[in-house]
């Protein structure tokens, strides 16, 4: 399997996700500079976390105009799987590959901590090694992760079963207290219609190593590798 | 002006005084120029280079007394940061620096640029920053500005570190009314470098290109170094324009561009433009290389129009570097900086004149012997009086509380001991994927990427101890970092110091400085734990009121096998708790005395360095052997507070006994004796350890066992963990959310 990690000026979780990919795939991911016109042939595109263009203007807004994004959109539309983590999720919404937008966290502060997520689907290439309804622990680290969409879009996401993960308590209950940033319907991550694009605010690559305190994130990478291998 | 020194046209004694130079210093300026008067631009250059901040004129004679060598030391004080060997051809580069004055005036930008500046000091040397720490001190929680300052400083630190993608893994936050008008923001950075790829600031060779890279120069931060060398008064708000504005995105690009260029061999010398900007970097690089330098200021990338030579030389605009390249390698370097979207301009050349020459619009603006700027700054052996150590208090001066239980709840929910979660959740402490020991433990633990090794990092000082007895307090600050590192299983390697004091022209303040240095030196010597970098911040006073003397110490240690480390939580239900170290019930200067009785008095706890070394080594060897993996040091607040912290971290309660029956319960539970550790181990292992310790002459006793969901102490008092957690976790968020 081959994976490409897109590196924007200000990306800072590019190496972290490359480490998790290598652990899962057994080989190095291609690190692709944002100024390039084309991504080498790949089975997976990853838009990593960080502060592309310093998050100036709006998170992900400037990176969405980078030269490489044309090819990301083309490949995504032709079915190449895309994983957008944190800043990568913000970027997917700015690029129009996923609906909605991210507002400031409800408490207006940057938040870095482990949160619980409920796995809403396990029938996608990203989630097949999870069990539906599983409660997993994965960290968030963002200032603008408050998922927002208008009522119609939210209803579509819900009706078409496009919610990937929701913030929940340790028992799997979806509560306001368990919602760290004010996201609509406790949404932490969403899929596109065919389940080939996943955007999520939590960082699976940060708990994919037992020395770091957990391996729930590793399951996402092993799911991908088994499917795309 | 009382001297006969010459003055250039338009220069008045008032202008000279505004530049922070007294008449004798001004006379020395004229002397070093061969008797002629400095131009206005030259006056500005001398003003910053001879400021306390850049020249260490009051502290140099004392700093020379600190031990700075050891087999592990690759580079000691005097460079951008200190460097210690961590084996396998790798080294750790680290330093702590103050940004106190700017952070008080403009907390967000002051703190942010403090973080940016210290990271540049580290990557200037070729190292990739891998962890940031900070030591913060604010005024009394009741003071009307405190909330605003805490909020601004914490978001400034997070705003910069989170964006650049270097984890902020820990630090300390304390409150005391002495910081009401003068907060302390000390930022530390640790980086990783290959021993054969270290870069220094020396600009050797004549005729080599001097290159400016990074952000453009603006009018921000002019005279920051001079401001940092003066006291505050009620008009300090007016100094806001001297605070720099940070751009962490540009710093991230600068970091990547510098490291990319450093992978090759085009750079001869490199120095960041920090305090005193272009002046200080140009002067220091040329001086270290024993050459002269000539700069054409017409070529400096500026972000504002019509900037004067004076402004360009003194600007402290952030995210800029000065490099000396091997001739002919300019194009290769320029390509890298252009890829990252940064300015790159060859602005000068190294010369054989030994002078700092700058030209602007065809005119020579400065022509100053470098040697005099860098090394002939005034050096003061200021008067000092080390206050006599106060007597140890009697037990009557620290009477028993009405309730031990309520005392514990009050201490655990106090400003100084409550959980700092509200702070560190605003810092990205996990980015780079190597934080194995997160904030909240004794020391943060960060893996050396791709190896089995880790570094433990901590910052500590107990200012009230230093105020009571500067020598013992200085010793204690060093010993506590050593202990915190040992408690994780790390072998302490070296320290960086950030010396925050009041006005050195007052003999009692200079006495605090001298005493603290003496104590620190003694501890460093006894623990084979040298000082490799540091920073001095004096004049931390407002309207004549000095801060508590605060020699903040940042220590780093090496864990050879990351699997063999300890956390500060109880291990498991049923574990035996062992207490290593003395039980003398020392309540003088304790938090019990200060926060429960009302005033901290008497002598601080004495530090027995031999005992520190013995106990720390014993604990570290147990961890390395895999016998123990749950250890917490016992410091502020005393024994019961330490047990409570271990219990909360694991959500397992503990029953403890009182041991020394000659002492009252409150002295055992809240006394702050030094050199102590609590271990949580299974029963069988505890018997082995007890025997082993006794054979080695280590003071040890069975303290109790881990059990249930409450803390229980011999004689009856019991505290539910849920109540304790509420008290511990709620103080800071409640305080910050109060309007």
Residue B162 and residue A213: Cβ atoms within 8 Å?
Answer: no
Residue A13 and residue B431: Cβ atoms within 8 Å?
Answer: yes
pLDDT above 80 (res B361): yes
Question: pLDDT tens digit string along B514-550?
Answer: 999 999 999 999 999 999 999 999 999 998 899 999 9
Work out the percent of chain A whose per-residue pLDDT is above 70: 100
Mutate to test the interface with A, among B162, B337, B429 (most CBs of A within 10 A): B162
Q: Which residues of A lie inside 8 Å of B (Cβ-Cβ)? A: 9-10, 12-13, 15-16, 19, 49-51, 53-56, 109-113, 139, 141, 143, 203, 205-206, 209, 211-213
**What pLDDT, on a 0 to 100 scale, did the predictor assign at position B661?**
78
Residue A203 designated active-site: yes
Query: How far is CA B168 from its chain centroid?
Result: 13
Residue A110 and residue B164: Cβ atoms within 8 Å?
Answer: no
Query: The domain spanning residue A146 has which CATH number?
Result: 3.40.50.880
Tokens 């760290």 locate to: A180
Closest CA to A191 of A119, A103, A138, A143: A119
Residue A54 and residue B163: Cβ atoms within 8 Å?
Answer: yes
Residue A94 designated active-site: no
**What pLDDT, on a 0 to 100 scale, did the predictor assign at position B1?**
46
**What pLDDT, on a 0 to 100 scale, did the predictor assign at position A101?**
97
Give the Cα-Cα-Cα angle A8, A13, A18 (nearest 5 degrees).
95
The sign of the dihedral angle between the CA atoms of B495, B498, B502, B503 is positive
Q: Kindly list the residues from chain B whose CB atom is less than 8 angstroms away from the CB atom of residue A12.
A: 163-165, 252, 431
B158/A contact by beta carbon, under 8 A: yes
Q: Kindly list the residues from chain A whose CB atom is less than 8 angstroms away from the CB atom of residue B108.
A: none
- Summary count for chain A: helices (H), strands (E): 5, 11
Strand A146-148 with A101-103, pairing: antiparallel
Residue B163 and residue A56: Cβ atoms within 8 Å?
Answer: no
pLDDT above 90 (res B93): yes
- pLDDT grade for B70, boundaries at 50, 70 and 90: very high
Question: What's chain B's average pLDDT?
Answer: 94
**What pLDDT, on a 0 to 100 scale, did the predictor assign at position B54?**
86
pLDDT above 50 (res B170): yes
Tokens 């003397």 locate to: B549
The number of distinct structural domains making up chain A is 1
Q: Three-class SS string for B453-512?
A: CEEEEEEECCHHHHHHCHHHHHHHHHHHHHHHHHHHCCEEEEEEEEEECCCCCCHHHHHH
Whether B516 and B523 have beta carbons less than 8 Å apart is answered as no
How large is the average pLDDT for residues B204-226?
A: 87
Domain that holds residue A221: 3-228
In this prediction, the answer to ipTM > 0.85 reads yes
Whether B567 and B629 have beta carbons less than 8 Å apart is answered as yes
pLDDT above 70 (res B228): no
Question: pLDDT tens digit string along B95-144?
Answer: 999 999 999 999 999 999 999 999 999 999 999 999 999 999 999 999 99
**What pLDDT, on a 0 to 100 scale, did the predictor assign at position B2?**
46
d(CA B579, CA B660): 12
Residue B162 and residue A141: Cβ atoms within 8 Å?
Answer: yes
Q: Kindly list the residues from chain A whose CB atom is less than 8 angstroms away from the CB atom of residue B428.
A: 110, 112, 141
What average pLDDT values come out for chain A (229 residues) when binned by 10 residues?
A: 97 98 96 97 98 95 96 98 98 98 96 98 97 97 98 98 98 98 98 98 97 97 93
Question: pLDDT tens digit string along A112-161?
Answer: 999 999 999 999 999 999 999 999 999 999 999 999 999 999 999 999 99
Rg of chain B in Å (alpha carbons): 26
d(CA B113, CA B246): 5
| Contacts (Cβ under 8 Å, ≥6 apart) of B518 | B65, B386, B470, B471, B474
Q: Kindly list the residues from chain B whose CB atom is less than 8 angstroms away from the CB atom of residue A16.
A: 431-433
């Amino acid at each position: 399997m081959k994976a490409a990690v897109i590196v924007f000026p200000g990306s800072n979780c590019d190496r972290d996700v490359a480490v998790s990919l290598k652990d899962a795939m057994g080989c190095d991911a291609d690190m692709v500079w944002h100024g390039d016109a084309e991504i080498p042939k790949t089975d997976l595109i990853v838009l990593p976390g960080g502060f592309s263009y310093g998050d100036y203007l709006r998170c992900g807004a400037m990176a969405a105009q980078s030269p490489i994004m044309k090819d990301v959109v083309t490949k995504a539309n032709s079915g190449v799987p895309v994983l957008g983590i944190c800043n990568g999720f913000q970027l997917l919404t700015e690029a129009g590959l996923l609906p909605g937008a991210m507002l400031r966290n409800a408490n207006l502060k940057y938040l870095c901590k482990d949160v619980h997520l409920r796995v809403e689907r396990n029938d996608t290439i990203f989630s097949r090694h999870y069990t539906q309804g599983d409660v997993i622990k994965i960290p968030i680290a963002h200032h603008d992760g408050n998922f927002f969409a208008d009522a119609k879009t939210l209803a579509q996401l819900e009706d078409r079963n496009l919610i990937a993960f929701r913030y929940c308590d340790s028992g799997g209950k979806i509560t306001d207290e368990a919602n760290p940033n004010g996201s609509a319907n406790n949404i932490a991550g969403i899929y596109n219609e065919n389940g080939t694009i996943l955007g999520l605010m939590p960082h699976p690559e940060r708990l994919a190593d037992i020395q770091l305190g957990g391996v729930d994130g590793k399951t996402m990478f092993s799911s991908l590798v088994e499917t795309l291998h | 002006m009382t001297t006969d020194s010459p003055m250039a046209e338009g220069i008045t004694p008032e202008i000279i005084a505004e530049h922070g130079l007294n008449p004798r210093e001004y006379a020395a300026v004229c002397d070093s120029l061969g008797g002629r008067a400095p131009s206005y631009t030259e006056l500005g250059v001398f003003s910053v280079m001879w400021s306390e901040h850049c020249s260490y004129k009051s502290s140099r004679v004392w700093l020379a007394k600190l031990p700075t060598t050891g087999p592990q030391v690759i580079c000691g004080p005097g460079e951008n940061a200190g460097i210690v060997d961590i084996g396998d051809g790798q080294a750790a580069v680290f330093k702590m620096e103050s940004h106190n004055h700017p952070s008080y005036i403009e907390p967000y930008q002051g703190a942010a640029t403090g973080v940016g500046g210290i990271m540049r000091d580290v990557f200037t040397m070729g190292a990739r920053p891998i962890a940031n720490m900070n030591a913060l001190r604010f005024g009394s929680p009741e003071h009307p500005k405190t909330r605003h300052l805490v909020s601004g400083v914490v978001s400034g630190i997070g705003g910069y570190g989170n964006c650049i993608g270097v984890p902020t893994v820990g630090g300390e936050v304390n409150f005391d009314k002495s910081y009401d008008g003068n907060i302390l923001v000390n930022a530390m950075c640790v980086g990783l470098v290959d021993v054969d790829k270290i870069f220094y600031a020396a600009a050797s060779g004549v005729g080599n290109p001097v290159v400016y890279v990074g952000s453009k120069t603006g009018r921000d931060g002019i005279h920051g170094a001079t401001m940092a060398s003066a006291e505050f008064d009620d008009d300090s708000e007016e100094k806001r324009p001297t605070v720099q504005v940070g751009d962490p995105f540009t710093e991230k690009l600068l970091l990547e561009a510098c490291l990319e260029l450093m992978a090759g061999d085009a750079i001869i010398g490199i120095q960041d433009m920090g305090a005193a900007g272009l002046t200080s970097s140009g002067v220091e690089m040329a001086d270290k290389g024993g050459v002269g330098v000539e700069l054409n200021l017409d070529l400096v990338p500026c972000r504002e129009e019509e900037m004067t030579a004076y402004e360009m030389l003194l600007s402290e605009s952030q995210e800029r570097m000065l490099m000396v390249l091997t001739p002919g390698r300019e194009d290769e370097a320029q390509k890298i900086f252009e890829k990252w979207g940064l300015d790159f301009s060859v602005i000068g050349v190294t010369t054989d004149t030994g002078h700092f020459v700058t030209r602007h619009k065809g005119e020579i603006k400065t022509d100053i012997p470098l040697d005099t700027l860098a090394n002939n700054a005034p050096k003061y052996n200021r008067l000092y009086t080390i206050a006599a150590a106060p007597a140890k208090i009697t037990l009557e001066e620290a009477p028993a509380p009405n309730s031990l239980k309520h005392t514990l709840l009050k201490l655990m929910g106090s400003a100084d001991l409550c959980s700092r979660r509200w702070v560190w959740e605003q810092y990205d402490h996990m980015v780079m994927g190597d934080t194995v020991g997160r904030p909240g433990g004794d020391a943060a633990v960060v893996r050396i990427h791709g190896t089995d090794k880790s570094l433990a990092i901590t910052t500590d000082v107990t200012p009230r101890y230093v105020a009571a007895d500067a020598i013992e307090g200085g010793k204690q600050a060093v010993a506590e970092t050593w202990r915190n590192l040992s408690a994780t299983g790390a072998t302490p390697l070296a320290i960086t110091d950030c010396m925050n004091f009041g006005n050195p022209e007052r003999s009692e303040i200079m006495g605090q400085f001298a005493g603290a240095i003496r104590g620190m030196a003694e501890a460093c010597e006894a623990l084979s734990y040298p000082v490799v970098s540091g920073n001095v911040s004096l004049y931390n006073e407002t309207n004549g009121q000095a801060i508590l003397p605060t020699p903040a110490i940042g220590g780093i240690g090496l864990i050879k096998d990351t699997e063999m480390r300890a956390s500060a939580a109880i291990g498991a239900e049923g574990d035996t708790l062992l207490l290593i170290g003395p039980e003398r019930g020392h309540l003088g200067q304790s938090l019990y005395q200060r926060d429960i009785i009302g005033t901290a008095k008497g002598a601080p706890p004495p530090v027995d360095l031999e005992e520190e070394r013995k106990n720390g080594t014993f604990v570290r060897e147990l961890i390395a052997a895999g016998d123990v993996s749950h250890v917490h040091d016992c410091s502020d607040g005393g024994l019961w507070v330490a047990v409570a912290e271990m219990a909360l971290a694991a959500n397992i309660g503990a029953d403890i006994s009182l041991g020394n029956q000659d002492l009252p319960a409150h002295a055992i539970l809240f006394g702050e004796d030094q050199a102590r550790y609590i271990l949580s181990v299974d029963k069988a292992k505890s018997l082995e350890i007890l025997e082993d310790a006794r054979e080695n002459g280590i003071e040890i006793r069975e303290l109790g066992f881990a059990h249930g969901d409450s803390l229980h102490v011999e004689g009856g008092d019991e505290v539910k963990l849920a109540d304790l957690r509420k008290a511990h976790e709620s103080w800071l968020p409640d305080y910050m959310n109060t309007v």
